[in-house]
Amino acid sequence: MKILAVDIGTGTQDIFLYDSNLDIENGFKLVLPSPTMMVHRRLKKTLLSRTPILLTGHQMGGGPSAWAIEEVARAGIPVYMTPSAATTLNDELDKVEALGIMIISEDEAVRLPSMVRRLELKDFDFESISRTFSDYGVSLSDLAAVAVAVFDHGNAPPGVSDRQFRFDYLDDRIRERNSLSAFAYPSDQIPQIMTRLGAVAESAGDLPCPLVVMDTAPAAVLGADFDPAVANRENKIICNVGNFHTLAFRLGEKGIEGVFEHHTGEIDLAKLENLIRKLADGSLKHEDVFDDMGHGALMYTDEVFEFGRADFDVVVTGPRRSLFNRQSEIENRESLHPYFAVPFGDMMIAGCFGLLAATAEILPGLAEPIIGSLRGGRGRGVAPWDANP
């Protein structure tokens, strides 16, 4: 049985092809530029040639792609976008037009002259990934499932903060089902408010198998929990330091005990460790993060998580985990002791392992081989998501 897992971040898209006939460490993997970075680089070339650009397709991750689109428009180069593509910049299309970008219908797009350069926006390009594997003699025609993770703010109503809207959504999901896999969905059950997850399902087209979508941060944390040193601890704090967002979950006997999410560019090590300490002692408040331009915080217990009971205080994963190595930023106080998780020997694929675990829960018919593989070499009788039924 094969499952394609794709974890799409800001800097990279991390791809893992699970094969139940192989030890999980032998699964084929790719770490490639993220779709938003690919769009960014292509649009930079447009600046040099000053060629008008038409952007079609779907909502995708912003950041680098959005910055490049806006830069092209500011340079006075004509930029056309179809409505679905324009939501990459803002769900309120009048704000996109205020940037000098022309929003046109699909029919109008077809009638634009051939000298206009065309670029399709989408986070997940199954055909491109398939071709890459095919070039190495690996077929994706016999997949049992595809699982894709992206970060989704959600479609906040006009006048509502995207940051607050996302944290209201996280709170609702945790209260409904206290599990990291609660942030994963089969493609036909994606909440309408999660427009980027929905766009992934739309852009996937007619896949030969079921599709599961998930938020990136819970996927990374769930994947990091497969490191044996992490799995052997019932109570833990796992921090995913991403290129754009840093998120920490406090996990315990009953599941998620607390969580905060900040923008990585807004924090240093001292600030991050202070938030983790508050997450541990139960004193963390939503405004501690939100008022500092972060997304927010949620606490579901006032019990104290005690540091010093093991040889590490916090589990760390993510592409910018080196933030925890910057001890020069900590002055005149003791810093936390981090453990850098390497599930199955590869931190960059942690999100893919989390996607596999969530897929086993979303598609129970596939669970047995997945669970068997993920348990392999861990010496435990249960998986992280069902350790406390």
pLDDT digit string, tens, across residues 104-144:
999 999 999 999 999 999 999 999 999 999 999 999 999 99
d(CA 73, CA 307): 51
Global pTM?
0.93
Q: Given this model, what pLDDT does residue 326 score?
A: 63
Q: Domains in the chain and their CATH numbers? A: 2-34+126-221+348-386 (3.30.420), 35-121 (3.40.50), 231-341 (3.30.420.40)
- Tens digits of residue pLDDT in 63-120: 999 999 999 999 999 999 999 999 999 999 999 999 999 999 999 999 999 999 999 9
Predicted confidence (pLDDT) at residue 330 exceeds the cutoff of 80: no
Residue 377 has pLDDT above 60, yes or no: no
Q: How confident is the model at residue 381 (pLDDT cuts 50, 70, 90)?
A: very low
Q: What is the pLDDT of residue 389?
A: 29
Give the tens place of pLDDT for each residue, 136-169. 999 999 999 999 999 999 999 988 999 999 999 9
Q: What mean pLDDT is predicted for residues 292-305?
A: 95
